[in-house]
Amino acid sequence: MLDTRKENILKLIVEEYIKNIRPVGSKSICDTLNVSSATVRNEMMALENEGYLEKTHTSSGRVPSEKGYRYYVDNIMKPKDITGEDMLKLQTIFSNNQLALSNTIEKSLSIISEMTNYTAVVLESKGINDELKEVSILPISEDKIVALVITSSGHVENKTIDIKNTNLEDVKKIVELINKLIVGTPINEVSSKLEFEIKPIIGEYIMNYEMVYSAFYNAFNDFRDNNQDEVIIKGRDKILQLPEFNNVNDIKKVIFALDEEKIKRLKEESEDINIYIGKENELDENLSVIKTKIGDSTLAIVGPKRMDYDFVVGLMEYIKNNIER
């Protein structure tokens, strides 16, 4: 742990650099802490030697290192209360009892991005906890049926199945087996159980079952694939307007980092508010990510390493404490 004076100097440098994105010299610190310039320079040099600060080539001032940011968020920073105006913007969404939790989070994204000037992301785990509740069939002609797959959350998926050269009674036996043996199974495990538990039994006493079995197997796969994580990104352009991303190579790296497939790696399993700085995150070493799990969704805010951590964490805390569950 740093002593009090070093902590105060690190705090001033981090917060001034976040605000102004300019290396911080000793003069402003001397004026604030009312200590001699020699003392401040010695302490800044010690902080640099310990890895909390870095010296730039273009200035005698210092900037925070990743270790410095990490010490700041873990030991110094206190979440900032959001303003009444910002509260009001969010409350208009939170108070809408007609919205599901996932829709509430989604509708908050644009406001969050506007408040922070960063990129806001939600990963919605659609149907992740759904279990198979029932399979039923509805004949629609002599050689076609509609198979209905119903989940524990009430979601219904339907698929038209060709049963030409297959007896309807045999199809009903397949459905009975499914309902008897794999109801209650998580949706993402149904196809596997169908293949290894149902298929061997069907083959013992139902002729020409392959076509119907394949249709059911494909129906479950389609259901699973249609209910994977949904990615919603707001304010992708805002991060590109920040001064640290002012050349073509930096912009390209950020655009690549915010690709939807990379964003999916941000999925969070913890309900705590977690901060990932630079190399700690899954996107890019020049970015920081603050994220949390709300319900079955992940809410993440992506910004530069000099992110306004106290404000973003305060905003996240407000959202978690006030969002309708």
116-125, 165-174, 300-309: which is most confident = 300-309
Both 71 and 200 in one domain: the answer is no
β-pairing, 156-162 with 230-234? unpaired
Question: Has residue 253 got a pLDDT over 70?
Answer: yes
Mean pLDDT rounded to a whole number for the chain: 87
Both 106 and 173 in one domain: the answer is no
Write down the pLDDT at residue 286: 92
Question: Has residue 234 got a pLDDT over 80?
Answer: yes
The closest of 218, 224, 46 to 130, measured between CA atoms, is 224
Q: Is residue 283 left, alpha or beta, with left meaning phi > 0 and alpha meaning psi from -120 to 50?
A: alpha
Across the range 114-126, mean pLDDT stands at: 89
| Helix 309-322 with 101-116: angle, nearest 10 deg | 160
Write down the pLDDT at residue 93: 86
**What domain range is 211 assigned to?**
132-226
Write down the pLDDT at residue 222: 73
In tens, the pLDDT along 207-218 reads 767 777 887 788
Q: How confident is the model at residue 126 (pLDDT cuts 50, 70, 90)?
A: low
In tens, the pLDDT along 34-62 reads 899 999 999 999 999 999 999 877 667 89
Write down the pLDDT at residue 119: 96
Q: What is the C-alpha to C-alpha distance for residues 37 and 35, in angstroms, rounded to an integer?
A: 7
CATH for 242: 3.30.450.40
Q: Say which range, 165-179, 271-285, 310-324, has the weakest mean pLDDT.
A: 165-179
Across the range 92-112, mean pLDDT stands at: 81
The contacts of residue 244 (CB under 8 Å, 6+ apart) are 21, 250, 286, 304, 306
Across the range 156-162, mean pLDDT stands at: 79
Write down the pLDDT at residue 168: 84
Both 243 and 97 in one domain: the answer is yes
Higher pLDDT, 283 or 169: 283
CATH for 211: 3.30.390.10
For the chain, the domain total comes to 3
Please report, in angstroms and rounded to a whole number, the separation of the first and last CA atoms in the chain: 39
Q: Say which range, 103-112, 142-151, 213-222, 252-261, has the weakest mean pLDDT.
A: 213-222
Write down the pLDDT at residue 58: 62
Q: How confident is the model at residue 129 (pLDDT cuts 50, 70, 90)?
A: low
Hey, what are 239's tokens? 């991060």
Question: Has residue 128 got a pLDDT over 70?
Answer: no
Distances (CA, A) of 75 to 67, 217, 254, 318: 12, 53, 29, 21
Both 118 and 242 in one domain: the answer is yes
Both 8 and 72 in one domain: the answer is yes
Both 220 and 285 in one domain: the answer is no
Both 118 and 235 in one domain: the answer is yes
Residue type, 27: K
Both 239 and 211 in one domain: the answer is no
Residue type, 104: T
Both 303 and 235 in one domain: the answer is yes
pTM of the predicted model over 0.85: no
Both 49 and 72 in one domain: the answer is yes
Residues above pLDDT 90, as percent of the chain:
42
Out of 185, 207, 226, a domain closes at 226
Higher pLDDT, 58 or 192: 192
